[in-house]
Structure 1
Amino acid sequence: MSSQVVVGTQWGDEGKGKIVDVLAEKADMIVRFQGGDNAGHTVIVNGKKYVLHLLPSGVLHEDALCIIGPGVVCNPFVLLEEMDTLEKGGLKCDHIVISDRAQILMPYHRYQDKLEEESSNNKIGTTQKGIGPCYSDKYARRGIRYHELLDFDHFKARVKEVLDYKNKLFAGVYGAEPMDYDTIISDFEKIYDRIVPMIKETTHMVNEALDQNKNVLFEGAQAMMLDINYGTYPFVTSSSPTSAGVATGAGVAVNRLQTIIGVVKAYSTRVGEGPFVTELLNETGEHLREIGGEYGATTGRPRRCGWLDLLVVKHAAMLNGLTDLVITKIDCLTGIEPLKVCVGYDVDGKVYDYIPSDQAIVGKAKPVYKEFAGWTEDISKMTTYDELPENCKEYVRFIEEFTGVRVSMISVGPDRVNNIYIHEID
């Protein structure tokens, strides 16, 4: 058995898509275990850019079975659009399976998300893709799962039941127009024959693959600091994008997870609202945004940029049980002098060496920095660790020392081949 989990250690956008694509070359099965199409994973192959939202980033490897797991909230219309785009580019999509336990993200979830965000005085900064309302319905036990689509008469009855409730909410709370039941059903009738063959009971499929010593790669969306329990709550997503989320989101026992890879961007970014201790509202922050292309793959929104926050990465290492780190976009730091990393939060004279749960405390924190000398050499074409400038190596070594996790791979460019391997990832 070989199982690998890829998780983000910051606020997302660390480059997980590229790392999954690289690891997927040896995978027999790739499982997306949480999130929805609010995620945007960018993969660049031979200069060609693919932006994926629902499909696992390993989908470009056509020999591996790609599963959208039980923990995903899956908008079938977005899924089919992504598949159509790939197929127009000459790729096959007959290796994609949807778990029958996954939640169907419905049109009324997107409508509700938009209404809630627009009416709120304390905005979260959601993508308005319907993710939060869909997860809310799941835990309120009014969500509709994919197996319910197999009996279309049953599905229509369930939609009628839930939509009646939603329309009362839309009119009574938001003063908004109701959604039309017939339109929703008609739209699902149009895609029914394409979606139904993809629906399978996947939990036993994943466990049987592990029993047969196949290579299974688990892929999440978002990242540690957007975790519903341990992130910067309430400025978080609605699921658990951690290694623990694999157990519930894919249906495997935690002791079956062997290698847990944390992806670390060499600096910090985040999208949306909430405290950001190392944020740079200056020319350096602007430089990082431009050199790193820090604009949302899903929304196009400019990302907030700052120095690397190692308290955040250490937090992720502890909660995910990381075995390996992959550092991405370190090439974007070339030419910056000096470099800084955050090693503590100073709140009214008290220095925290961990992440406080109260965002009011985090919002008052001043970063405690350690400075490093930068480098000017172009590292984007380097292929071995020995070639890297000594100052770059020192930066990497400090990340290892502070987090207690080895750095096994360094990404020095956007393409799947722009990697330096230090240790083999088992």
Structure 2
Amino acid sequence: MNTVVVGLQWGDEGKGKVVTYLSRNYDCVVRYSGGSNAGHTVDYGQFKLVHHLVPSADLRLRKGMYIATGVAVDLNVLSQEIEQLEQFFPGSGEALQVSKQAHVVIPFYRELDGKIDAARSEPVGTTRRGIGLCYANRALRFGVRLEDFEDEVLLERKLAELVRVWNLDIDANSILKQMLEIYHSLSHHLIDNVEAFERLKGKDLLFEATQGVLLDVDAGTYPYVTSTNCSSSGVQAGFGFPIKLDKVIGVTKAYTTRVGEGPFPTELKNEMGEKIRRLGDEYGATTGRPRRCGWLDFVLLRYAVKVSGCDELILTKADVLNGLERLAVCVAYNVDGVKVRDVKNLRNIHKAEPVYEEIEGWKDLNSPSFEKFLRRIEQETGVRISHVSTGSKVEDIVVL
């Protein structure tokens, strides 16, 4: 069986924990998009690990892990991450393979990323990890791939070309030396796309998305999006081969959060928003930035379910709302005086005024009012909820 786990909001839905939990039923976890701008936190109980590039497989079970061609690889981040994983799970790195055809984030991409965003009339709030520059140079055919490191003369020429194209005053040779050193320490993890595909053929694969559908470069709140197709539509291109998906699992919080700039109709710029942020520890795993918080938005959730082809839902962070007497959900928008229940695109959601419905809160996740909340989500989306996360740890999840 081939399954993909996607976020149905603006990322930070808890996909890392979900993928780790589900990975026990699969042979290999595959990252197919994004880069070190992702921050998938996995709480093993005694410690937490944040996965930026390494797939969020349960490291206790020694499952296969594959970073596919669609991922933007920062060699320094990957090296540090493998080192960290080995400290907690010695030998776990042996299960990791990385596509030689994946593009590499060159160190100076980070600075350029920040300069470009600062030069915009309206910054999009990039994480400044150089991911957008990596994908832009790929599209411009100036990109550097991991396979290029096998030919140092070619690599030196490509770096010099990048420095010239971007008119940079830097020493390309020092960057080359630094990157080659890290590359050689990681080279035993590298594999050609075709060989990886042949090894994985016939195995049960769990594809791990990054960010969320609302940040997808095509389906999301453009231009306030990431640089890749992080919805289910990006699996085949990111994997590098045609692959039939048997199931699309969407992950959503019981409320909504967003990091960075862009429209957010249900954002709570008040004490309740601050309370949810505090209770949910809503700070970015990659940037540390406080997340903007708001009520659950059924309009956007229905949109995300539709464009991702979602087959089932997993609800996270409902426990954060335990003890709140009254909650609200957004059931529709008022846009230019017109009430809208569903949207065909996200072009005008910056004009959207949320239409709220107050609902009863719950004491805990065994409360009848929480059961009613679950049924309401299923009714609004037309998709069943298969699991509910009951806490931060990997095992804190129940099957419905």
TM-score, length-normalised on structure 1? 0.90
> Is residue 392 of structure 1 aligned with residue 380 of structure 2?
no
| 1:182-223, Cα deviation, whole Å (9 max, x unpaired) | 11011023223212222212345346534x2x2111001100
Q: Which residue of structure 2 aligns with residue 41 of structure 1? A: 40
Q: Deviations over 1:28-79 (max 9, x none)?
A: 1111000000110000012311111111111624522211111101101110
Secondary structure of the residue aligned to 1:66 is: strand
**Amino acid paired to 2:106:** M
| Alpha carbons 1:271, 1:303 under 8 Å: kept | yes
1:129 partner amino acid:
R
Distance 1:22 1:14 in 2: 14
Shift of 1:153: 2.0
**Residue in 2 aligned with 1:158?**
158
Q: Aligned pair 1:368/2:355, yes or no? A: yes
Q: Distance in 1 between matches of 2:61 and 2:69?
A: 22
Q: CA deviation at 1:356?
A: 5.6
Which of 361, 366, 389 does residue 411 from structure 1 map onto? 389
State the match for 1:108 in structure 2.
108
The structure-2 alpha-carbon separation of the partners of 1:234 and 1:280, relative to structure 1 and needing over 3 Å to count, comes to same
Contact kept, 8 Å, 2:35 with 2:74, in 1: the verdict is yes
Match of 1:281 among 262, 266, 269: 269
Q: Which residue of 1 aligns with 2:211?
A: 222
Q: Is residue 2:239 matched to residue 1:247?
A: no
Quick check: 1:47–1:415 contact (8 Å CA) kept in 2? no
Determine the C-alpha separation between the residues in 2 that align with 1:257 and 1:208: 18
> What's the TM-score, normalizing by structure 2?
0.96
**Number of aligned pairs?**
399
Which residue pairs with 1:22 in the alignment?
21
Q: Partners of 1:83 and 1:309 in 2: how far apart?
A: 37
2:177 partner letter = S
Gaps of 5+ in 1: 171-177, 380-387
Distance 1:134 1:93, change over 3 A: same
1:177-196 counterparts in 2 under 5 A?
178-196=169-187
Check conservation: 2:335, 2:352, Cα contact below 8 A.
Answer: yes
Q: Tell me the amino acid that sits aligned with residue 242 of structure 2.
A: A
CA distance in 1: counterparts of 2:343 and 2:273, whole angstroms: 23
Letter in 2 for 1:26: N
Distance between the aligned counterparts of 1:328 and 1:219, measured in 2?
17
Separation in structure 2 between the aligned mates of residue 206 and residue 406 of structure 1, nearest angstrom: 32
Distance across 2 between alignment mates of 1:354 and 1:236: 21
Residue 401 in structure 1 maps to residue 371 in structure 2: no
Residue identity matched to 1:150:
E
- What are the residue-to-residue correspondences of 1:91-130 with 2, within 5 Å? 91=90, 92-130=92-130
What one-letter code is carried by the residue in structure 1 that aligns with 2:154? H
Rounded Cα–Cα distance in structure 1 between residues aligned with 2:225 and 2:282: 19
Q: Letter of the aligned partner of 1:393 in structure 2?
A: E
| AA partner of residue 93 (structure 2) | C
Runs of 5+ consecutive residues of structure 2 not aligned to the other structure: none
Please say which of residues 346-355 and 242-251 is displaced more in the overlay.
346-355
Q: Which runs of 4+ in 1 moved over 4 A?
A: none
Tell me what 1:75 maps to.
74
Measure how far apart 1:89 and its partner are.
2.4
CA distance in 2, matches of 1:220, 1:87: 23
* Paired residue secondary structure (2:94): coil
Aligned residue identity for 1:410: V
Identity of aligned residues (%): 39
- How far, CA to CA, are the matches of 1:391 and 1:269 in structure 2? 23
In 2, Cα distance between the equivalents of 1:112 and 1:74?
17
What SS does the corresponding residue of 2:57 show, helix, strand or coil? helix
- Whether 1:199 aligns to 2:199 is no
Describe the SS at the equivalent of 1:346: strand
1:126 and 1:304 mapped to 2: Cα distance?
A: 15
User: Partners in 2 of 1:203 and 1:40 — Cα distance?
Assistant: 28
Contact 1:38 1:127 (C-alpha < 8 Å) held by counterparts: yes
Amino acid at match of 2:227: S
Aligned partners of 1:67 and 1:202 also within 8 Å: no
| Post-superposition offset of 1:141 | 1.2
Counterpart Cα distance in 2 of 1:151 and 1:224? 38
In 1, Cα distance between the equivalents of 2:58 and 2:149? 24
Whole-Å separation in 2 of the counterparts to 1:189 and 1:204:
24
| 1:117 positional shift | 2.2
After the TM superposition, which of the residue ranges 6-15 and 18-27 deviates more from structure 2? 18-27
Is the 2:156–2:173 contact (alpha carbons within 8 Å) kept by the matching residues of 1? no
**SS across alignment from 1:79:** helix
Alpha-carbon spacing, 1:204–1:260, altered in 2? closer, same or farther (3 Å): farther
Name the aligned partner's letter for residue 266 of structure 1.
Answer: A
| SS of corresponding position for 1:94 | helix
State the superposition RMSD in angstroms: 1.5
